[in-house]
Every structure is written in structure tokens, then in C-alpha cells.
Amino acid sequence: MQAGAQTDVDVVVIGAGFGGLTMLYRLREAGFSMQGVEAGDGVGGTWFWNRYPGARVDVQSVEYSLSISREVQDEWTWTELMAPQEELERYVNFVADRLDLRRHIKFETRVTAMTWDEASATWLVQTDKGDAWRCRFVVTAVGCLSAPIEPAIEGLHSFKGETLYTNRFPKGGYDFSGKRVGLVGTGSSGVQATPVIARQARHLTVFQRSAAYTMPAGNRPWAPGEFEALRENYDEIRAVQFASPLGAARFGAVAVGELMRTVPPNILETPMEERLARLDRDGWLAATPFAWADVTVDIEANHAARELYAELIRRQVNDPETAAALVPHYPMGCKRPIIDIGYFETFNRDNVTLVDLRKGAITRVTPEGIETEQGAFPLDVIVYATGFDAMTGALNRIDIRGQNGALMRDAWIAEGPRSYLGLMVAGFPNLFTITGPGSPSVLTNMISSIEQHSSWIVQCLGHLRTQGLKTIEAEPDAQEDWVTHVASLAQGGVRVHESCTSWYLGANVPGKVRVYMPYAGGLNVYRDRCDEIASAGYAGFALA
């Protein structure tokens, strides 16, 4: 493909993570021509960029894996319950090679603009390398957590040591041996990285603004023959997985699918001795929203569950002041739960210090290290695990111009994302968003959601082809109803409580409009709704 050349393909697919690869495969199987575009120099998306030490998936690998190809499923061997980043990157490369997908992708190329042309009913997709593809459809598979945010800390770039970001970590890793390391951020990435860095570094200082709700992953290698037995059983595993609201029967080592089928007691109606007895019996699980029915809907119940969580931390962490600092101040269940390997124990090490930024914030980064209101910390390396402009960031960074030249981000920045089913946006015909805002996406096993979306999209394109239709577009009324429905599902609970500062709400990005972005009704319910809509001749969509 020559820079600047205009090439007609049926579909341009943006992104070569699991979403993009799945889409490319399904499009090719269905006989569409396509062009993939990927900013990185390899496949993998999340698992390409987030190469930080300790990175690991929180869903069991037999479920966090593709079911689209029997060969891929049968030929790949997982080595442990939840794969680490390196294994997932190897797997996604295996998928790309086994399904021969690499030849469809232009790497090291970022889509910068896409413009809808009403007269020809085509999109013009342009990149930072000067490519311009004219196509009938665009599918974005840009990821929900792929637009890094740089923390707004004065002097960030003045540091004369090494500055690293978990979400752009160097390929091949980084040797922290003998170094004084500062880690900023204690979300999933920071929590996973902490124990691994602590084992290597001379000293690790963890700068914590918000404490984390995290529990032990329960990861382990397979027992002899265990994986082979599971592999024999993939059909059953997939059936259970896809019937679950989370698109996974398990979160970490916990059988959440089963738990969600039972109604647990209310914590506020349970005497304290009984709560503590459950803590002794069930461990961390007793301090999660899975254990108590009222925790996600009643803030008092939430505080009671947090007390149990604090008790568990006190049992793990020797220094009482550090243990107290590790207790979150926001509601349990408002942010994505985290699973870890040895997080709290790490704070018992002599070479680890926790700096609770609630007692004095970071004031600036200097050439020597980090200064806070509590004092200065000289460092050799700073690792930022400070998160993403989630769900909308990657799309808003592209100039997407739909009907009448309207720029998609103008509306999304002003009002929050608006879409029908999280799949299409009114005013932007023939543009599909895999795991877009308004779909279950980040509340589920992402691979299950990716498979469901890509399947729906390719069936939709097949329908248009057989009917001789050129365009499909979300109707504004259907979109408004959907946006209202998505908001209603989160209403009243801790997810939207004023004290919740999750990235689901955009609350981690200064100035971002506060809207609960994912669909919280469960992937199983959502899939049925999408299928019903398709069966009803794509109700709520205008086809022409």
C-alpha cells in the first residue's frame, strides 16, 4: 500500500488486539475485503502495551481465550490458571499467525481521521503515515483502556532518572535491581506491579492517592492433566461462560457465576459475630459485594463491608499505620475489583514504604525524585501506573466526522458518550464500535464481549449485503432510549455514588463529564437484546 494511495476495501478495522483480530478473521470468513490498522509494531493491544512486571489477566485463561477458531482453541496450551502478560502476548501472536491475519494489518500506523461522505456512502480513513482508505464500513476495535493519561504533576519531565509508564512499558522489561524506585498509582496495574518491583528493587516507595480493593488472585500452575481435561471440555466451558452475566464463570479463582445465582444475606441484618465468622470461613470473599446483597445498593452496608475488609488488612499488614492507610475511602464495588499476588504482604518488607497521599499530596517531580507535602523522596526510577482516559479516550483522539461534518467528540465531550447498544452512533452511519461505551465491555470478560460484538457486526454486514443495502445507522430516538436505559441500570447504587471516583464514570480524568459508561445489565441479557433487535429487522436502526 503506498502512502497517500486511495484504496477501496469493504471494511477498515482499527486496532489489532483481540477485538481487531477477531473482527478481521470473521470478515474474511464472510467474504469481505478489509484493511487492519494498528498503532503498535505488533498485535496484542492491551497485552502489547501493558508489559509491566506482574501484569496478568483476572479471568481464567480457559475463558479469557478465543472460541472463534477450533484450531486455535485445540492447539494452544495454557500453563496456569490466569495467564501472565508474556503468555498472553505469545498467545495473541499465535492467533495472528495461525489464522494468517498479519498480512491484513498495517502496523506502526495510527488512524488520525475518518470522514463520512454522504454522496458515495463511504468513509475516508486517514492515518499519520499518509494512508487514505476509502471504505464502506469502519469497525473500531481501539480498546476501552488504551488511551494513557499522563498525570498532571508539575515537573514530570524534569526527573533525571528513568521514567516508566505501566501502560507503555519497555519490551523485554526493566531491571530494578539496586534502584530506589517510586511507584505512583495503586489501581490494578500498580497493585500487580508492587510485589514484583519490591522483590527486585533496593527500595520501593509506593505513592498512594486512593487505596485499592484487592484480593488474592488464587493463581496457580495446572495440576498434572488438569488443563488437558479442561480442553476436552471446552464446549461446556463456553456454554457456561456465554450464559453468564460477566461472560465468565469465574473472576480470579472465585466461581462468581455460581455466586451470582444465589442471593446472599444483607450485611446490616447480620450480627457482627456472624460477619466475623464468615470472614474467618471465607476470607477475602466475605469482604466483597458478592457476599452481601445490600453492599452495592446501601452505602451504610457498604461501610460495614469495608470494615471487614479493613480487618483483613490488619491481619496481613504488621504496621498499624500502614494497615490503616491501605483501607479505601470510597465505596466497595464502585471501581473494578482487583486481584493480586502478595500485595498486602509486600508492605511488611523492610525495603517498601507506603506514602499515603491523603496525608499530603505530591507537589512536584524534581530532577532528584518526588516531592510531597510530607517531604522529598530521592529516586532512581519513577513508574507511573496512573491509568487511562477510559472507554472514550481512544475514539475521541480520532477526528471522526459523520453526517454534515459533525465531529463525534464534540458531542461526547459535552454530554458523555451516546450510542445505540454501544455498537453504533446516530449521525455516523456504517461505523461500528467494538465494546463501545453503552455496551457491557469492561464489566465482563472482554473476550466474550468482543466475540459477541464481532459476531453481531458481521451478521449485520451480511444482512446488508444480501438485501442489497448500503447503509445502516442508529436512529436518534433509539439511541436516546438506550442511553437512558444504560444510565438507569447504574442508578441508585454505589457505582454512581458521589464518593465514587471510578474511570467507569470518567471521574479519573479532570474535567471529563461524569457519566456511567458501560451497560450494567449483564452480557447474557445484552446479547439477547442485540439478537432480538437484529431479528426484528434491525429495530432502531435506519437501513438504506
Stretch that binds ligand NAP, among 179-187, 367-375, 415-423, 509-517 (CB under 6 A): 179-187
Is residue 104 a contact point for ligand NAP (CB under 6 A)?
A: no
Is residue 151 a contact point for ligand NAP (CB under 6 A)?
A: yes
The SS3 assignment for 368 reads coil
Compute how many other C-beta atoms are within 10 angstroms of the C-beta atom of residue 234.
16
Please select the residue that binds ligand NAP; options are 16, 135, 153, 308, rule is CB under 6 A: 153
Provide the CB-side half-sphere exposure for 105 (13 A, CA).
30
Burial of 265 (0-12, 13-18, 19+ CB in 10 A): middle
Q: Dihedrals φ, ψ of 192, to 5°?
A: -70, -35
Overall residue count recorded for the chain in this entry: 544
Please select the residue that binds ligand NAP; options are 57, 111, 201, 323, rule is CB under 6 A: 57
Please select the residue that binds ligand NAP; options are 15, 45, 328, 387, rule is CB under 6 A: 387
Is residue 188 a contact point for ligand NAP (CB under 6 A)?
A: yes
Q: How far is the CB of 357 from ligand NAP (least distance, A)?
A: 6
Q: Are 399 and 114 in contact (CB under 8 A)?
A: yes
Stretch that binds ligand NAP, among 125-133, 222-230, 381-389, 447-455 (CB under 6 A): 381-389
Q: Decide whether 362 or 464 has the Cβ nearer to ligand NAP.
A: 362
Q: Decide whether 148 or 429 has the Cβ nearer to ligand NAP.
A: 148
Helix, strand and coil percent figures for the chain, each rounded to 5 = 35, 20, 45
Residue 484 CA to its chain's centroid (Å): 23
Q: Which residue is nearest to ligand NAP (CB)?
A: 187
Please select the residue that binds ligand NAP; options are 185, 252, 331, 440, rule is CB under 6 A: 185
Is residue 187 a contact point for ligand NAP (CB under 6 A)?
A: yes
CA distances, 19 to each of 15, 65, 284, 448, 457 (Å): 7, 12, 33, 10, 12
Q: How far is the CB of 88 from ligand NAP (least distance, A)?
A: 10
Residues 257-276: x where in contact with ligand NAP by CB under 6 A, - otherwise, as a string: --------------------
Compute how many other C-beta atoms are within 10 angstroms of the C-beta atom of residue 407.
15
Is residue 374 a contact point for ligand NAP (CB under 6 A)?
A: no
Is residue 218 a contact point for ligand NAP (CB under 6 A)?
A: no
DSSP string, 340-355: ESSHHHHTTSTTEEEE
Q: Dihedrals φ, ψ of 200, to 5°?
A: -100, -40
Compute how many other C-beta atoms are within 10 angstroms of the C-beta atom of residue 456.
19
Q: Which of residues 120-149 bind ligand NAP (CB under 6 A)?
A: 145
Q: Are 413 and 396 in contact (CB under 8 A)?
A: yes
Q: Decide whether 101 or 434 has the Cβ nearer to ligand NAP.
A: 434
Q: Which of residues 429-468 bind ligand NAP (CB under 6 A)?
A: 442
Residues contributing to the site for ligand NAP (CB under 6 A): 56-58, 145, 151, 153, 184-190, 192, 207, 209-210, 336, 357, 362, 385-388, 442, 501, 503, 508
